[in-house]
Each structure stands twice: as C-alpha cells, then as structure tokens.
Structure 1
Amino acid sequence: MSHRPILRALLRSTILATTVLSTTAFAGDVEGTIRSMALERPIEGARIVVEGTGRSATTDEAGRYMVRGLTGGRYTIRVQQPGYDDTTIQVLVPDEGAVEADGVLSHAGEMPEAEIVVTGARASRLLAIERKRALPVISDVVSSDGIGRLPDYNTAEAVQRLPGVSVEIDQGEPRYVVIRGVDPNLNQVTVDGNLVGVPEAEGRRVALDTIPSDLVAAIEVIKAVTPDYDGNAVGGSINIVTPTAFDRAAPFTFLSARGAYNAKSDKLGFGGSATHGRRFGVDESFGVVIAGSYFKRFIDSDLAEPRNWTTIGGVATPTAYRLYDYRIVRERIGTVANFDWRPDPDMRFYLRTIYNEFTDVEERDQFDFSFAAPVSFPAPDQIRFGGGRATREFRQNDQTQRLYNISPGAEFSLGNAELELNYTYAHAEEHTPIRDDIEFRSAKGKFATLDLTSARPLFADFDPSLFEEASFPLRRIRLRREQIDEDLHTARADMRIAFGDTDETFLKFGAKYIDRTKTRDNTQSELLPAAPITPGGFDAVLPPPENFYEGEYRYGPLLDYGRIIDFFEANPDRFVLNSVSTTVNERSVDYRVEEKITAGYAMVSGTTGDLTMVAGLRVEHTDGRYDAFAIRDTNGNGTLEPSDLVPLSFDREYTDFLPSVHATYRPTPELLVRAAYTNTLGRPNYDAIVPTFEEDSGDGTAGNPDLKPFRSTGLDLSVEFYPAAGSVLSVAGFYKHIENPIFTRTVRDVSFAGIPLTSLSQPQNATDGDLLGVEANIVQRFTFLPAPFDGLGASANFTYVDSSVTVPGREDEDIPFFRQSDLIAGGALFFENGPVEARLAFDYRDDYIVNIGSSTASDIYNKSRFALDARISYRITPDIEIFASGSNLTDATLTFYQTLPEQTFSRQIYGINADFGISARF
C-alpha cells in the first residue's frame, strides 16, 4: 500500500532522532502471534524459545512476539505456557527480512479442535490468571468471560474478589476499592492506561460502580508500580481495560438482558448491554468495538444512628439519635467506542473513548432526637432525658455523575525501538440540580427513654407529642444546587529500546504532562417561615413507612415533598431569606484547583538466565494553585459585611523523586518469584488543601494549603505457582512506611490567622505510619475427583496487616493506620460441569478506624462485615446462557461504632438483592 513507505520513513526519522538503531534490525527476524484455541483469544505472556540459540521472547497483550537477528536457516520454535501443552513451530528464517510464525496452544489434556471452547466463569479465571502471570509487576487481575462480561455486575464488586482488596459500600453496593487497606483516595485509577477525572468534590477517589462492568474486558490491580506508572499510587494502580477488535480473531457480538430485585424496596429493576467488535478493510487492518450498557435499579435502606456517646452517671449513653428512611432510584448508562488501525505490524493507531453516567434520585426522610437534661434512671439499664427536642426533615437529592475519556494515540515499532504517543482529554462532573432540605423542629422539653441493654440502644418510652404533626413547626427550607467539574489534559510519550537477543532487556524512558482544573460551584438559599407553619398547613403528611427498620423503631408520619414545594412556590410572601446563612453556605465550599504535573522517568531492564531486573527513577513536579473563600462575621451581629467574604489563593510546588527496583525470577515456567522496592506519593484531597475558612461563634473550620503529600516507601516479595491452567497459588509479604498521613484535628483555644478561636478543626499531617502484611491466594479445580465432582473447585484469599500511625497529641497510643483492617478475606466454592456453573462466595473485612478524634473516646470505627453471594448459570447452547444470582444473602449491615463495639454509632440495613437474566454471543 502506498501509505506504508511514507509512514515507515516518518517513523524511521523520528526514532533515529532519539537513538541509534542497529543496522541489522530487519535481518533474520521471526515474528508472529500465539493464541488459545479454547479461548479464541491471543495469549499474553507465552514463552517463545528458539531451540539451539539461547534466544527467547514473551508474547505481549496482543499475543505478538519477535525474535531478532537470527542467521538465515531452519529453526524450531518452542512455545510454552503453564496449563497448556507445549507446541513447536518449524520456520525457515531468511538471510534478511522477517518471517511470520504463528502458533495455537491447547490446554493440557485437551485435543486442539475448534469445537472446544471455554466460556463462562472458567474463561474469566483462565484469562485473569494468564494476564496476572504475564504482567511484569506484582498484580492481580479480573477478566471478562467468553460471553463478554465480568463475573460480577458491579465493577467494584468484581475487584473485591482479589487478594488484598476490599471495598467501601454505598447503599449496599460496593463502590470504592481499597487495596491492602489503604484509603481509596490514594489509589490511581486509569482506563486503558489513561487518567480519568474525579467527579466528587472532596477527594481523589474514583467510584468504580460508576463504570458498568458490561463495558470492561479486564481490570488490573497493580500493587507495586514501576517508573512508567503514575507515582500517585500509595495503595496501588487500578487499570480498567476496555475491549478492542484485536482481542479476538473473529468478529464478536455480545448481548445481555437482566432484571434486578431488591427485597427492601420490593421493586424490580432492569437493564441490558450490547457489544459488537470486528475487523475490516484491507488485511483486516481496521478494527472497531461499539458497546452500550443501561441499568436501572431500586434501592431502599433504613439507617439508625445513636450518636455522640458519653458517660453520664457512670453509664455510657448516646446523646443524640437519628433515623433515616431512604428510597433511591439508581441508573447507570455507559458506552465505549474503540477504533484501531494497524496497517502493518510496526504501526498501530487507536482512538479510545468511554462515557459513563451514574444517576441517583434519592428521597430521604429523617427523624432526629437531640437529648438534653434533666437526666434520670427509671430502671436498670435505662436512661431518661427530659429536656430534648426532635426534628423531622425531608431531603430530595437528585445527582448525576458523568465521566468520559477521549484518547487518541499511536504506537510505532522499528527494529529494536518502540515509541508510543498519547493524548487524553478526560472530563468528570457531578451535577446536583436538586438538593432540597425541608426541616420541621419541635419545641424543647420533650422526653425520651433509652434501653441500654444492647450495643444499639432502643427507645423504651418517648413523648407522645413527637408523633403529632402539630408539634413540628417549619424551621427552614434550604434549596441547594451544585456543579463540580474536573478537566484533565494529559500528553505522554514513551520510548522503549531493546538490546541484545531478548525483548526483556531494554531501556525505557518517557515524559508526561497533566493539566488539571477542578471547580466546585455551590448555590444555596435558606428560607425561613415568616409565621409558624406546621406540616398540616401544607397538607404534607404521609403515612408512616411500613416495617421501618424491621419494626424496631416507631418512625411516625413521613413528609410529602411535592406538596411542600408546591406550597412554597405558591406562597413566596410567607417566607423570608436568611441572607447570612445563604451567603455562608454558598461560598464556604466553593473552590478552584489548578494542578500541573510534569513527570519524567527512565528505567532499564536486564535478564540473566531466569532472572529479570528492572530499575529506574520517576520524577514528578507538582505545581498547584488553590482558590477558595474565608467567611467570618467580624461584627458578631448576625450580618455579613462585604469585607467578611474574602477570596483566598495559595500556590504550592513540590518535586518528588521516586526510585524503584523490581526483580522477577523464573526457575521453572510454572514458578515466579517477584520482589519490589518502590516509592510513591499521594496528593492531599481537594477539600483538605483548598484555603477555606469559616468561623461561627468562636468555632472555626479551615482547609490547609500547607499540607504535605503522603510519601510511601514499599517493599514487596511474592511467590506465584501456576500448576495448571486456571490454577494459582501465591503468597506475598509487603511493608509500607508512609510519611505525612493526613487526618482532621480539632484544637481548643487556638489562634488562627490572628483570630482567637474556641476551637479549630483543620486537616493536619500526622508524623508517619507503617503497614506490615502478608497475603495469600489459591485457586484450584479438583480435577482429581471422579465425575461429576471433578467440576468442583475453590478459591480463597486472605490478607493480614499489622499497622500503626503516629498522631500529634496522641504519640503514646497504639493507633491503627487510617481505614486499615487487620484482616481481609474472601473465597468461593464453585462447580463447573458441562452447561452448569455455580458459585457460592464470601467476603470479609475486619474493623478499621475511619475518624481519629481528639482522644480515644471520640474515635469512630467501621465494624467488621461478612457478606455472602451466590450465582448459578446454565448454557442452553455454547453461546447462550441464562443466569441468576443473589448478593448480600446474609443481610449484612454497614455498621460504625464509637471507641468500643458496644457503642454503635451508625447501622444501615439494605436487604437482599437478586439478579437474573440471559447472555448470548454471536
């Protein structure tokens, strides 16, 4: 084709400007593709050995390999991959030029016939293990199966099956991924290796449930990064891989439809997905994948919060109580459009695009008790507060998060050099068009009696007027709207130059530039009634919720949001604007962040026998500008002067040097030993580093633009054994020393910016912390059992971590590291026989601390959680499968406690979820 000489000449001039290439790069080369017959996909990580020469290579993610510089003649090439039968390829190498030598592998003990196709959970497991083994770093992988989907429907849920990985949940669904117990804000998340934006205002964590699992080909969790990964990876790096047309040899189409039932809401959701990929054009050099996903589900949950525990009369008791009744409609929309052009093996051009939309329409009724003296003890294990008050509140919160990436790039290969160029535009936003809070509050002097015989006190008695609508006049209506936007422009260039006879000996270097802009714009109006109005005045009372919290609490009437808003809009003269509160609320959280990160790295890899070493250095320079507002009622008279709203702006620059060394030892094809020394960083959360300040009656809250980033040094050692296809046994030990961890500290009687304060709450750097842990993982099919029990298998993993952190003011205390569980475990018993697949899986994580107070008495912990899931499927034909699953079968709760497990701080119940549907491929 006429374009190829031109492109090759352009490529040659580009690379020659950077390095000197061998003049024999095109003589005596063998290249080809190795694929799996049963999986109908390329094999990554297969070992290619040219017998009698000492030359070898390893296949890449596309199954490609190249062996250079062979003398012309006939050779035997042996292809090895654990779990597959070795195969040999006879090839005649020319004196000059390249020859293609493709190969097909079959699983050990299976005939290499086209009709043998592996699908379902077994395909997912095989592909994940192959990818884990092939990656040059310490990692774990989840992969899509033979009909184009992950083994779980939620992306975060699928990742939590991996060793050392747990999740934080939202409304019963896994959402944020925790690697080895480290805060999700300290993970790096990419799509196809490219950065994604963060739609949330506070932190840097990416909610993985935003991305539908239907669109994902694989998820890689990198636990020890090499210098070519971004340095912002104290926990690790999570890379979401989307499908391409070159993943498979033939065109493919995947379809699925499913329903979802939530027992708490007693409603049925629905969804579906479609994916089509194919190659076309001359030599099938063009490829396209188009995929779409939609899912809608209904979620109800109940929450009880006995808060702010203290000791009164020698008895531990909460001093406030809060009840929530949630009703949520959740929708996910996702699309992927990936395009490739590969005019020849030396040139690849691509465009990766992904769009995700996540919407919650949330109705929340809230019933609060604020207890107050006089206090009495009417019976053993009971406490009576006689001077409290109650609040009934309704929140309508409609929120949409959007993420999308557009990423064009090119890869060039000329002889022993490879160049990749990439630009990515990423946008993330969180749009809240409605967040209305309507609050009714009773008078003081209401009584309530608590029964303290359990960790979660229940009400033994209460003032009957608390359930009468006339007792709750309207206090205020708050109308809030918010827009959060993040835009990232990223450009990178990576060069890889191979030396010697193997592609595992190379020099790689590159540069990356990230331009990030993030803004938060909050608008809010607080309206007060001009004269007392009760819910009856709106005709806005609804019947109590049915079986609230399984009947353990009496909730009372609900509020009719629609009628209240209608009344407000029809009677604006009956409300007045609270201008001070409106101004404070509008500006107190607004900010603008501009960060420019310039990074460069160099790394070298060398192989001696069975040992491969990679050493290198990454340098990242962060240049940030952070804008926000300081707000203070200087006169103390409840009014704000123009001078009380002060824009603040701070600049920060810092440079991090991040050396690392990685070693991989392969004494046999089935055994790998890996070791790593790494250095990473974690930039402070946005809401922590922006220069906000707000003072109210002597109490102040502030951001801290002087925060230092987290800096982590890690040591890792792992042993991986692959006895058969789809089986792995691995053990790893790891240590992290983390400097400058960030926590929120409240200080009494302090001066801030020359202002005397009764208290100041502000993010601060702690001194340091340490994590020392071990993790183990086993996946094994019991093929030694007689039929049909040879279809049984099991997987199990656990992670144990001993952690500590040094916090100013509490240096002598043994405090575990923030959000760090001591024990994380998971496992499954599965059965795969013919068309039937079944799985019973569990996940467990231990308690961890979520908030460090000024003393032990105010520390808040997340309580341990054990969840049980099950799935069964039946293949009607090799290409059509019906399935059903249930999650949270143990009806596990999300529970927090204050200081002691006997002092429940919050407990949320969700109910059981069930999914069912059909998947097909064509």
Structure 2
Amino acid sequence: MHSANADRPGYRLLRTTAVILATTVSLPSLALAGELRGTVTNPALSRPLSGARVTVDGIAQPVWTDADGRYRLTDIPAGEHELRIELPGYTPFSASIVIPETGDVTRDVEIALAGGSESEIVVLGSRASRLAALERKRSLPVIADVVAADTIGQLPDYNTAQALQRLPGISVQTDQGEPRYVVVRGVDPNLNQVTVDGNLVGIPEAEGRRVALDTIPSDLVAAIEVVKAVTPDYDANAVGGSINIVTPTAFDRTDDFLFASAKISYSDAADKFGYGGSVTYGAKFGADDQFGIVAAGSYFKRFIHSQLAGPRGWTAFGQEMAPTSFVLYDYRIMRERIGGIVNLDWRPDDDTRFYLRTIYNEYTDEEERDQFNWDLARGTQTFPAADQIAWSRGRATREFRQNNQTQKLYNISPGTELTLGNVQLDLNYTYARAQEHTPVRTDIEFRSTDTLSSTLDLTQPSPTFVTYNPAALDPAAYPLRRIRMRSEEIDEDLHAFRADLRYDIPNMEGSFLKFGGKFTDRKKHRDNRQSLETPTTAVTFAQTGAFTADIPFFDGVYDFGPGMNYQGVLDYFASRPGSLALDTAATAINDLRLDYDIHEKIYAGYGMASLQLGELTVIGGVRVEKTDGSYSAFAIRDSDGDGTLEPSDILPVQFSTNYTDVLPSLHLNYRLQQDLLVRAAWTNTIGRPNYDAQVPTFEEEDGSGTAGNPNLQPYRAMGLDLSLEYYPDADTLFSLAGFYKKIENPIFTRTIQNTSFAGVPLLTLSQPQNADSGELLGIEAAMQKRFTFLPRPLDGLGLSANVTYVDSSVDVPGRETEDLPFFRQSKWLFNAALFYEKGPFEARVAVTYRDDYLEGVGASKAGDTYVKGRTVVDARVSYRVTDRIEVFASGADLNNASVIIYQATPSQLVTDEVYSFTADFGVNIRF
C-alpha cells in the first residue's frame, strides 16, 4: 500500500527516524527476503480474525494472527508453497502461493465458520458477541476473559460493570442496585488497573483508586478484557487484575458501519420512566482507505427509588443481643450519563500507523435522602417478653440530604506504531482529566429530646418496633439542630508517556524481545468546603411547615413518619434573617480537614522476551517501578488538650513516600492441540494505598469518625495461575483454572468502639491499617455451549455458566489466632445464563450469585461486619425484525434482591437496602 502522503517531508522525516532506530537495534533486519503477509477475515462477522494459526509448508514454525487479523512469515524459500490457515470452529483454508527470490507477497484470506451457509445466516446478535469474545480470549497471550460487542455494536448488558459480572471469577459491588465496581477474584476494586485502549484513565473519586465502570456507557465499548495475570508490559498496579476497555475503530470491521439504539427504562420502585439512546458511526476513506474515523455518542437518564433499614450498635445485654440504634433511609435519585468518543486512524502503509483516541464521559447523580434515626439506648433497658427489649428513653433525628454530584472523565491519547523489518516502535502520550464536583451537599437536621421510649421485637429476620412514643412521628417534637452546607471539587490531571520497542528475532517466527519505559505524572486536588449554621432561637420541624405526608416504608414494616420539603426549610430560614448563626469555629475546621493535594510520579521500565517454540510460547521478563509521592493535607490535633477543637488545631502537614519494586514474571502457553490450550503464570504486582487512606485527614459526623494513616505500606502480591481451555468449535468453551495469591501488607479498615481521636470523643473510629499478610487459593470452572444436538426447536438452547471457589485467610494485628477470610473475599461466586436463539428470536435468563464477604474488621469478632451473599436474576428477549433491526426488552433484578450487611452473625442485621426491578424496552438498528 502506498500513498502520496508518504512523500511529504514530515512523513519522510519520521520514517527516517524509524530507520535509524531500527538499524541501531538490528542491521540484519534490513535484508529480509521472501516475506509473506496478509489479513484473515470472516465475511459473516465482517471483521478480522485474531488467533488463527498460519503455516507454510517447509517452514517449521507457525504464527498466529494478531488482534487486527494480520500475519507475517519471513525468510520463506523462493518457489511454490502451500499456505494453510486454521482456527477452531472455522473451515480450514489452504491455497498455493508463489514466493519470489526477493520482495514481499501479500495474501489476504477469508475463512468461513464450519457449517457453511447456515452458520453464515445465524451469526447475529448474542452469538456474534460470544464468538468475538472467545476469539479474543483465545488469542491473547495472557490469562484473561473477554466481553465483546455484537453485530450491532452492543455489549450483552446495558451497563459495563454488569456485562463483566458474567465472567468467571468476576463479581461486582453495587450502588443503588446498579453494578458499579468490578471485583476480580474477590480482590478489592481499588487494586485493579483500569485502562481505555491500553491507556490510563483518571480517577474522579476522593477516596480510592477504583474506577466506576458504570460511568462509561456500554454503547461506546467494542470489548472489555480482564487480564488476571499480567506480563511486564502491563502496569504493575494490578493485584486484582488489569481491565482494559477497548473502544471501536474503523478498522475493526471490514465494512463501514452505522449503529443506532433507543430505549425507555421503567423503574418499578420509582414508578418513573427513563430514556436514552446512542449512535456509532465508523468509516474508512482516502486513497486505499488509509484513513479511519469512529464517532459515537450516548445518552441515558434513569430514576431510582430505594429504602434502607438498619439496626446498629449490636450489644450484649446479659444473654440477649440487641441494637442500640436504628436508621431508616428513603432515597430518590436521578442519574444521567453522557458519553462520546472520536477515534481517528491513519495507516499510510502496512508498516505505519498513527492514531488519536479520545473519550468523554459525564455522570450526574442527584440524590434526595429522607432520614429517620433512632438513638434508642439513652435510658434503662427492660425485657417485657421473650425476644423483646424496651428502652425508657431515646432520641431521634429527622434529617434530609440533598446531594448533587457530577463526575467527568476524558482522555486524549495520540500515538504511533512504526514497523521496519524486524523492529516495531510504539509511542504514546495520554492526557487524562478526572473530576468529581459536588456543588450541593446539604444536610438539614432536626433532633428531638431524649424522652422517646421504645420497645423492639428481636425475632428474625430483623428487629421491629412493638411500641414507641407517638411523639417520634410528630414534627413538633423536633427542633432544628443544624444545617450543614457542603460543596466539593476533586480534580485530577494525569500525563503518561510510553515507549515500547519490539525486536522480532530472525529465524524464530513469532519470537521477539521487547523493551519499554513509561512515566506517569498524576496530580490530585481535593477542596471540601463546609459551613455549619445553628438556630438562634428554637424552631421545630412543625413550625417550618416544610413537612410532607408520611412516607410509606418497607411495605408497612416500619413507620417512617413525615418526609421533609428541603427547599421549603431553606426558604423558611431565608425569609427570616438572623434566625440562623454561623458556627465560625466548626466552619473553619470543617472547611479544611478533608482537603488534600497529591503529586505522584511513577517511573517504570521493563524488558521481556516472548519465545515461540513450536506450540509452546514462553514469555518472561521483569518490570521495575519507582513510586515518588508527595502529599499535603491538614492534620487535626487537640493541641491544648481541652477536649475542644479550635481553628488553631488544624495544622498543615506534608510528607512524601519513595519506594521501588522489582517485579519478575513468567508465562507459559502450550497448545496441546489446536483446540486445547494450557496456560501457566507466575506474576508479581503491587497495590498503592488509596488516596484518602494515606493522607492524614479526619472527619466526624454524629459521633462516628474516619481518619487517614500516612504510615501505610503498599500491597505487594505474588500470584500463581494455571488454566486449561478447550475450544471444540467457534463458540464453545470449557475451561478450568486454579490460582494462588500471597498478598503482603493488605490494607483493611479497623473500627474501634468508644474511643477518641485528636481529643474528639467518638462512638466509633474507622482508620485504615496494614495487616501482616493474606492468602487466596481458588479454582474457576466455566463452560459455554449451544445445544445444537437437541431436536428442533430445542436446538436453539444454550448455556453459559461459571463457578469460582476461593479459600482465603488474612493475619490481622491483634487477632492472629483467629481464622479470618481475606477482606471483601467471597468463598463462592456463580454465574449462569440459559439462552435460546432460533431464527430471529433470542431470549436469556441470567443468574449471578456472590457469597458473604468480610467488609470491616472490628477489635474482635463481635465488631466485624459482613456483606451477605446476594443472588440477582436478569432477563432479556429480542426479536430481529430484519437483519438490521432488532427490538428488545430486558429486566434487571427481577427477584428484588436486597443488599444486606450484618455484624458478626447474620442474625445481627446492620443494613437491609431494598430496590425493585428495572425494565428496558428499545430498538437497535444497523444501517
């Protein structure tokens, strides 16, 4: 392929630079002859095929096509040869080729799915997605799992995180019933590396290093790779794994494409309709189709209503365990997602590529929360009957929170891939910007006196109120305590420069040496502003007139009482100047104590070799990463020891960290036969502490405090993996994998009861600390199969299922003799989807299950908190009106699975948060 652009001065200069670099690495690479190259595609899927085995008679060493379907064989003797291409589930291809004495031969090949024309007709929808995912998984040189888009550019689920939870060893953490954070083999999401097209993304949240994957609309995604054992050319911050979101390019498909979708969404609990849609356009143009563009946009708006009931502070009273407080929350939420990508490519010839990857995501969450809190234990307790406890006095609060928050993520990544003979140079620069801006977070709190008596029934499944003082539901019993107004800006700027040099070893097809370096510069700023106002004279909730009708709650299990008209309360006090006074001391303290600035620099370099020895691939090497971090924040100290914090007790503090990690790894991939693959890996990775965990900040609310810990050490993990993968045909998989991880310095949150921090008395203090070490030993099994052997019409049935079992332990200081599971580590994970595909009709019922896991560690077992196991049922049906138009309906959380947290034992419920199902209806169109 040649273009007039190749004759331009700037282009010639860049190519000359590549020539000079190539000659410094290998002079013999300039004298190659008898070279065969080409691209393998599948017409039914309209895209290149990766992982196809390519051989030429007389050449002992096979090669495999890359992610773009390309292959290259060198040093082929002149004359006539037979070219052969094989891929499980596809009809083998063979043809005669003639290799000249010198020069290159290009031979592009189309191969068809085994089964002929019938297979060509049915490769649409979900089956196309499975084919693409298995093809990508099989061809990757690492242990990984993949989700891929179908023929109309859609992932199998509306939410990026939800799509990933179908994979082996993958579970999710939810937010308001929506899958949000991805958990790989039970490891904390903060220990995953998330990239877009291999490039780092910014982290908008103040607390951790996790990236909320529901922020990125699934409409913009071509595939997602979850790499569970990384090679040295991956970033090392991947104790859980490396999650790479692949966006589409114009060269992903053989034809130009235009996809569009539109849908409406109904939330049962909110009783409201949401709506959204997306458009994706991709085309090649210019001489020889050397230019490519993909432009896509996505918009979605939905409504959520959830309720939470939580008995807290379980304490032993003789032989009876009883809660000492109770919280009731009523949430009403609007969520809006906006996303867009523009990807540009210029490929003037087969050896030269320039690209620009851009992605923008905006996620807005507007939350209203009515809150009814009982502080039950302010008097004496009696036991009027079996399984009942009565309190003579108690206090309650009625609170409203308005929390409006917007996250923005955008990446700009230009780069180039230059090939000259045996040398390939990849250069990339990434600028990533992440923001989380909270213009409004207002808490209005009315609190009663401590004269409210109550009686609780302690029988399962959750405590309920037998009797209570009727004043608890009376707005006149609640004078205003305070109005706290907050706003916050979190901004992160990331610059990353990466260079990779690959040298293909002569006379060893498929073998190469690779070296690279990367510099990452990350700056993060948090500015949290708070003002605290208190009433100058007593004003009750009733006097404001800003209360609503009683809120129906938990189907009548609990009496919530009236809600709050947020704007009505603000208007009441705004119309009465002088009715509120600013607490200047508390405001000065609150305005600083969460602020911080972080500047983190990571210097990385690696060297590795990939040796192709017949059917065995050996990848070994080492990565070195040096972390330089500087942190500034505000430490709180009761400097005069009077038990009262004053503005002078907020002191600026700075500290720095500096550590270097040497991280070797070894990977083995052996093809026992074309459809049977064994993989093994030994890896070493790290996990840097969360931002809020390491900076010396402190926050207190309602007697509960959280504090940072600047003395934290990073996680350091060693992993062993072994897997067996069997691909009897193109869309069938049977796999079995075992894994072991030894994790040093795991970080956990220790909760201490009835303590103080910086002179502030606290009911509880939560602070991150390093444990000694932890271990994970697990096994994964997965299958995917269409039951085509069944008689019609049952031959449209199929099953995709996987199960993961993990035995884990962790040594926590002070509790070394106890058998604690690793933090957030479920023992069992299970996913299954029964599907039916026949003609234009598709249907799927999916079940996901995650077992109990340890969420927080107390001073003893009695203070440990666990998240209870959860089963979620989803379903989807679709009908192809034509090959280009599909209508669909789907339902999420059809079984109304709640999120339950308990203390020490399931009988001691701490949180029961209930949602309801969400239904989507829409149309997908391929033009």
Identity value in percent:
58
TM-score by length of structure 2 reads 0.97
TM-fit CA distance, 1:341: 0.2
Task: Decide which of 881, 885, 906 is 2:911's aligned counterpart.
Answer: 906
Is 1:225 aligned to residue 230 of structure 2?
yes
Task: Decide which of 257, 264, 270 is 1:259's aligned counterpart.
Answer: 264
Q: Return closer, same or farther for 1:696/1:864 CA change in 2, 3 Å cut-off.
A: closer
Task: Decide which of 173, 181, 184 is 2:178's aligned counterpart.
Answer: 173
TM-fit CA distance, 1:877: 0.2
Is 1:832 aligned to residue 834 of structure 2?
no
Q: Which moved more, 1:755-764 or 1:135-144?
A: 755-764
Separation (CA, whole Å) in 2 of partners of 1:318 and 1:630: 33
After superposition, give the CA deviation of every residue in 1:446-482 in whole Å (9 maximum; x if it has no partner). 1111111113101111110111110001110000000
Do 1:632 and 1:696's aligned partners in 2 also have CA atoms closer than 8 Å? no
TM-fit CA distance, 1:696: 11
| Secondary structure, counterpart of 2:393 in structure 1 | strand
Q: What is aligned with 1:184? A: 189
| Secondary structure, counterpart of 1:407 in structure 2 | strand
Q: Return closer, same or farther for 1:656/1:23 CA change in 2, 3 Å cut-off.
A: closer
Separation (CA, whole Å) in 2 of partners of 1:766 and 1:16: 49
Q: What is aligned with 2:505? A: 499
Q: What is aligned with 2:472? A: 466
Separation (CA, whole Å) in 1 of partners of 2:132 and 2:142: 17
Separation (CA, whole Å) in 2 of partners of 1:171 and 1:686: 24
Task: Decide which of 481, 488, 510 is 2:487's aligned counterpart.
Answer: 481
Separation (CA, whole Å) in 1 of partners of 2:700 and 2:553: 38
Do 2:751 and 2:857's aligned partners in 1 also have CA atoms closer than 8 Å? no
Do 1:744 and 1:764's aligned partners in 2 also have CA atoms closer than 8 Å? yes
Is 1:86 aligned to residue 92 of structure 2?
yes
Q: What is aligned with 2:729? A: 724
Separation (CA, whole Å) in 2 of partners of 1:791 and 1:697: 58
Q: Which moved more, 1:392-401 or 1:575-584?
A: 575-584
Q: What is aligned with 1:215? A: 220
After superposition, give the CA deviation of every residue in 1:434-455 in whole Å (9 maximum; x if it has no partner). 0010000001121111111113
Separation (CA, whole Å) in 2 of partners of 1:451 and 1:586: 42
Count of aligned pairs between the two proteins: 920
Is 1:385 aligned to residue 391 of structure 2?
yes
Q: Return closer, same or farther for 1:888/1:753 CA change in 2, 3 Å cut-off.
A: closer
Task: Decide which of 98, 104, 107 is 2:104's aligned counterpart.
Answer: 98
Do 1:39 and 1:117's aligned partners in 2 also have CA atoms closer than 8 Å? no
| Secondary structure, counterpart of 1:131 in structure 2 | helix
After superposition, give the CA deviation of every residue in 1:320-353 in whole Å (9 maximum; x if it has no partner). 1000000001100000100000000000000000
Q: Which moved more, 1:280-289 or 1:563-572?
A: 563-572
Q: What is aligned with 1:156? A: 161
Separation (CA, whole Å) in 1 of partners of 2:392 and 2:661: 58
Map residues 754-769 of structure 1 onto 2, 5 A cutoff: 762-769=767-774
Is 1:690 aligned to residue 695 of structure 2?
yes
Q: What is aligned with 1:810? A: 815
Q: What is aligned with 1:309? A: 314
After superposition, give the CA deviation of every residue in 1:71-107 in whole Å (9 maximum; x if it has no partner). 2222211111111010113322222221110111111
Q: What is aligned with 2:675? A: 670
After superposition, give the CA deviation of every residue in 1:662-718 in whole Å (9 maximum; x if it has no partner). 000002110100000000000000011112357999998642222110000000000
Separation (CA, whole Å) in 2 of partners of 1:565 and 1:351: 48
Is 1:583 aligned to residue 583 of structure 2?
no
| Secondary structure, counterpart of 2:394 in structure 1 | strand
Q: What is aligned with 2:275? A: 270
Q: Return closer, same or farther for 1:802/1:23 CA change in 2, 3 Å cut-off.
A: closer
After superposition, give the CA deviation of every residue in 1:268-303 in whole Å (9 maximum; x if it has no partner). 110000000000011110000000000000100010
TM-fit CA distance, 1:890: 1.0
| Secondary structure, counterpart of 1:446 in structure 2 | coil
Q: What is aligned with 1:292? A: 297
| Secondary structure, counterpart of 2:476 in structure 1 | helix
Is 1:404 aligned to residue 410 of structure 2?
yes
Separation (CA, whole Å) in 2 of partners of 1:81 and 1:70: 22
Task: Decide which of 15, 19, 22 is 2:25's aligned counterpart.
Answer: 19
Q: What is aligned with 2:535? A: 529
Q: What is aligned with 2:547? A: 541
Q: What is aligned with 1:601? A: 606
Q: What is aligned with 2:134? A: 129
Which AA in structure 2 matches 1:416?
A: N
Do 2:585 and 2:647's aligned partners in 1 also have CA atoms closer than 8 Å? no
Which AA in structure 2 matches 1:916?
A: F
Task: Decide which of 644, 650, 653 is 2:649's aligned counterpart.
Answer: 644
Consecutive unaligned residues in structure 1, runs of 5 or more: none
Do 1:626 and 1:705's aligned partners in 2 also have CA atoms closer than 8 Å? no
Separation (CA, whole Å) in 2 of partners of 1:108 and 1:168: 40
Q: What is aligned with 2:70? A: 64
Separation (CA, whole Å) in 1 of partners of 2:50 and 2:577: 67
Map residues 284-363 of structure 1 onto 2, 5 A cutoff: 284-363=289-368
Q: What is aligned with 2:250? A: 245
TM-fit CA distance, 1:496: 0.8
TM-fit CA distance, 1:379: 1.6
Q: Return closer, same or farther for 1:746/1:143 CA change in 2, 3 Å cut-off.
A: closer
TM-fit CA distance, 1:355: 0.3
| Secondary structure, counterpart of 2:858 in structure 1 | coil
TM-fit CA distance, 1:581: 1.8
After superposition, give the CA deviation of every residue in 1:744-793 in whole Å (9 maximum; x if it has no partner). 33569999999999997532211000000000100001111122211111
Q: Return closer, same or farther for 1:496/1:572 CA change in 2, 3 Å cut-off.
A: farther
TM-fit CA distance, 1:15: 2.3
TM-fit CA distance, 1:17: 5.9
Q: Return closer, same or farther for 1:360/1:501 CA change in 2, 3 Å cut-off.
A: same
Consecutive unaligned residues in structure 2, runs of 5 or more: none
Is 1:918 aligned to residue 923 of structure 2?
yes
Separation (CA, whole Å) in 2 of partners of 1:700 and 1:172: 27
| Secondary structure, counterpart of 1:476 in structure 2 | strand
| Secondary structure, counterpart of 1:562 in structure 2 | helix
Separation (CA, whole Å) in 2 of partners of 1:237 and 1:227: 12
Which AA in structure 1 matches 2:6?
A: R
Do 2:644 and 2:759's aligned partners in 1 also have CA atoms closer than 8 Å? no
Q: What is aligned with 2:438? A: 432
| Secondary structure, counterpart of 1:563 in structure 2 | helix
Do 2:22 and 2:420's aligned partners in 1 also have CA atoms closer than 8 Å? no
| Secondary structure, counterpart of 1:688 in structure 2 | helix
Q: Return closer, same or farther for 1:752/1:861 CA change in 2, 3 Å cut-off.
A: closer
| Secondary structure, counterpart of 1:332 in structure 2 | strand
Task: Decide which of 744, 748, 758 is 1:743's aligned counterpart.
Answer: 748
Q: Return closer, same or farther for 1:389/1:828 CA change in 2, 3 Å cut-off.
A: same
TM-fit CA distance, 1:631: 2.2
Which AA in structure 2 matches 1:224?
A: A
| Secondary structure, counterpart of 1:121 in structure 2 | helix
Do 2:643 and 2:760's aligned partners in 1 also have CA atoms closer than 8 Å? no
TM-fit CA distance, 1:116: 3.5
Q: Which moved more, 1:219-228 or 1:605-614?
A: 605-614
After superposition, give the CA deviation of every residue in 1:582-610 in whole Å (9 maximum; x if it has no partner). 12222111111110000000000112221
Separation (CA, whole Å) in 1 of partners of 2:761 and 2:796: 71
TM-score by length of structure 1 reads 0.97
Q: What is aligned with 2:803? A: 798
After superposition, give the CA deviation of every residue in 1:233-273 in whole Å (9 maximum; x if it has no partner). 00000000000000011110000000111110111110000
Q: Which moved more, 1:568-577 or 1:781-790?
A: 568-577
Do 1:24 and 1:69's aligned partners in 2 also have CA atoms closer than 8 Å? no
Instruction: Give the superposed CA RMSD.
Output: 2.1
| Secondary structure, counterpart of 1:412 in structure 2 | strand
